[in-house]
Every structure is written in C-alpha cells, then in structure tokens.
Amino acid sequence: MSNLPPKLQEIVDDFAGMTREEKLETLIAYAESFPVLPEWLREKRDSMEPVPECMTPVFLFAERLADGGVHFHLDIPPQSPTVRGLASILANGLNGRAPEEIIGVPGDFFLPMNLQEAISQQRLNGFAGVLAHMKQEAVKLIGQNHKSAPIF
C-alpha cells in the first residue's frame, strides 16, 4: 500500500478487522456524528442548485487553514446515511492534511476495508465520488498558491 495520511490509514485498518455487523454500526456512527455546517457556509450552500433525479446532494467546501492544511466542510442530508458515513470517514481521515497529500490518495484506497460485504459494491461509488470531489477542490487550492495548473 502507498502511504495514506495516518488518520485515514488508521480508519482503513480498523475497518479491515471488523465483522460485517461492526462495519455497519461504525458506518452509522460516522453518519450520526456528521458535523453541522458552520453558519458562514450556510448561505453558500443554499445558493446551490438543487440536483434533479434522486442522487444525494453533496455540498463540499475546502477551507485552507493557516498552516497550509485543508479542512473539508460537508453537508449531506440525513436521509442519506451511507453517503454521509463514507464522506465523514474521508473528512476524518483527510482534514488538516496538505492538498498535495490529499491528491495522492489512491481512488481505491478503501478496498482493504472490505465494505462491499456490508453495503454492496454499488454503494461504494459514493466513496469514489466524494473523494474525487475532494481532490478537485484540493487541486484548486494548489493552483491558487502556485499559479500553475496542476495535473492529476
């Protein structure tokens, strides 16, 4: 395995050793501990277009911290606990890390967690989707600093 940010690696390792039931319970715990969007971002979220079809609307905002790290703010409706849980794992594992490090997270980093036995392969698309979105935001932050277009 490549080097994942330590917190994310820890979460991956935890899940790898869990039974199916424990995985479900932990995912629900992540979904339920989902942080509330701070006041200063609410207006930004409300101006977002509603998405047609029945996909889960994911609001994501990357804040650059003073030390150069990234903090992801997310808003996902409670009616979508699976996407919430997966996004919450990513935010927990990546918050505070440098954008370069976030971009380096492989798109299939979650395979060793063996989550498909708990929530089925299809639903793991949410993981890849949110991670791709986070990487895009991280790329933008690098662009702002170095004034050059980064490449994946």
Partner 1 sequence: MSSYVHPEYLVETEWVSQRLNDPNVRIIESDEDPLLYAVGHVPGAVQVDWFSTLQHPLRRDFLTKEKFEETCSNLGITSDTTLVFYGDKSNWFACYALWLFQYYGHQNVRIMNGGRLKWEKESRSLVKEVASYAKTNYQAKEADKSIRAFRDEVLKQSNDKKPLVDVRSPKEYSGELISMPNYPQEGATRGGHIPGAVSIPWAQAVNEADSTFKSPDELRALYEGKGVKPNGQIIAYCRIGERSSLTWFVLKYLLGYPSVKNYDGSWTEWGNLVDAPIEK
Binding site for partner 1 (CB under 8 A): 24, 27-28, 31-32, 51-55, 78-83, 85, 119-120, 122-123, 125, 128-129
Q: Which is nearer to partner 1, 2 or 79 (CB)?
A: 79
Nearest in space to 24 (alpha carbons), one of 107, 123, 132: 123
CB atoms within 10 A of CB 31: 20
Q: Least Å distance between CB 3 and partner 1?
A: 26
Whichever of 82 and 95 has its CB closer to partner 1, that residue is: 82
User: Which amino acid is present at 41?
Assistant: L
Closest CA to 2 of 90, 92, 86, 107: 107
**Residue placing its CB nearer to partner 1 in the complex, 39 or 46:** 46
Measured from the CB of residue 48, what is the shortest distance to partner 1 in angstroms? 13
- Provide CB contacts within 8 A for 10, sequence distance 6+: 93
